[in-house]
Every structure is written in structure tokens, then in C-alpha cells.
Structure 1
Amino acid sequence: MKNQMYSSSTANQAMPFSEQEDAKQKRRQERNMARGLKNNKQQVILLSAIWIILMGGGYLLANHYIENSRAYIDARLQESQAANLKQMAKIEEQVGKLSTELSTVQAGLGSIQEGLQMTGETLGGTDKTKQALTTRIDQLNKQLTELRTSLKKLEDAARAW
């Protein structure tokens, strides 16, 4: 070691002062460059870690948002289906009532026609009676047609649901 120190100091003494300074400056630059590379590596690692953390956080945030949106949509669909079922039940109830009314009107028409036949035979052709009965039959036929139309619309609405 002493020989090395001696030889280096001897070499340093043999070199002119500016060359010694140039050599020292060159060594400093090499050390600074090595430190700079080390710092650059640390910065790259730090930036990579930050980038990975940001990407992971973004993924988790997006996943959370998607799950919440999916839950909200599912809840709204269930509410809509429940409302549709209630409306279907109401429509089916109305269709049942209209069917009952239609049956009643048909039975009434049948009895009126029977009564007309009997009345026509017993009255022997009174025009006023026949005209009144015909008017009533026409009214009942119109009501029957309207009821059938309403029933058809309700059945179509029920099928649409």
C-alpha cells in the first residue's frame, strides 16, 4: 500500500499541476456520473411505482363505479318488473269484469230477442212496440260492439306487457 501511495504521489508530483487537476476533475465527473445514474435509476423506479399505484387505484375506482352502476340498474329493473306485474294484475281484473259484463249483455240480448219474438206474435205487429224494441236492440248491439272493442284493446295491452 505504501508503495502504491508513494508511486501515486510520485506520479502526481511528476505530473504538472493542470494535468493533476484535470485528472481529479475527470474522477469527480465519473463519480458524479455514477451518482447521476444511480439517481436516475431511483427516479425511474419511483416513477414506475407511482405509475403502478395510480393505475391500480384507477382500476379499483372504475371497478367500484361499475359495480355500483350495475346494482342501481338491477334495482331499477326489479322495481319496473314489480310495477309491470301490478299493472298486469289490474288489466286482467278489468278484462275479467268486461267479460262478465259482456256475458250479461249477451244474455240480455238473448232474452230481449226472445221477448220480441213473443211480443211480435202476441201483439200482432204493433209498429211502436216493434220500433222501440228494435231501437233498444240496436243500442244493446252498439254497447256490445263497444265492449268487444274495449275487451280486444285490453287483451292486446295485456299481451304487450
Structure 2
Amino acid sequence: MDVVKEAFQKVKQDMGLMKQEIDFLKKTLEETRNQMIEICEILKKINEKDPEKTSKPASTHPFPTPTLSTHPSTHNMSFKPLKHQNIGISTGNQGVPTDRQTNQQTDRQTQNQLKISEKITEDFSQDSIENAAEILESLDTLKKEIRLKFK
């Protein structure tokens, strides 16, 4: 019974501390509210004194200034491409298909890799089922232990 009383005393203390903190926050909020009201009143007085300054909206868009070139351009911009194509040099792929590799050894390694990956997935699925069964068993034993402790 003493443990329960101590727990309730701690909860009671925590609730008292939380009430004090809430009261402090309310007080701070009220002070902040009053300060904001004072600031708003001061701003109203300032706006009443100088209505011309506050009525003009400030432009945020820069005005473009035209610039005239005083020096002639050094680049002659013609309609020719910068680099000409070497059509006579390029041979292309000469009709070789590009959708499949021609190296046979690479194909064999890929097939072996597929067999290995299939074996790994089979082992993994068996292991995961076994792991899940072990986890469920351990959870059941934990549940039984907890029930026994609280009875």
C-alpha cells in the first residue's frame, strides 16, 4: 500500500507543479497581450500624425534602366553553327545490333547469379517464417509471465 500512496503523492506533486506552470504561462500571456495593445495604440498615434508617409505604398519592382552599348561588339554573330559536322569521318555502328551484348561469358555469369539469388530468396523465406514463429512463441511466454506477476 505504501508504494501506491507514494505514487499518488508524486502524481499530486506533479499536478501542483503543472498548475503553477499554467498560471505562470497565463500571466505571461496576459502581459504580452497588454504590451501588444500598447504597441498598436502607439502605431495608431504615429499614423495619425503622418498620414502621407503611411499612405504611399512602396514599390518592390525595380525600374529597368536602358543601357546603350558604347563599344562595338567583338563577336560576329553569323547564322553558321559553331562546329561543323564531320560526316565523312563518322562510321556509326555499321549495322551491329545494340540491344544485346555479344560477350557469351557475361551471359553465363548472369544466369549463375539468377540461380544464386533464387536460392537466397528461398532460404530467406524459410528463415523469416522460422523467425516469426520464434518471435510469436517468445511473445506468448512473456504474456504468460506478465499474467503470473500481476495475479
TM-score, normalization by structure 1: 0.32
Provide TM-score, normalisation by structure 2: 0.34
Computing the radius of gyration over CA atoms, which structure comes out larger, 1 or 2?
A: 1
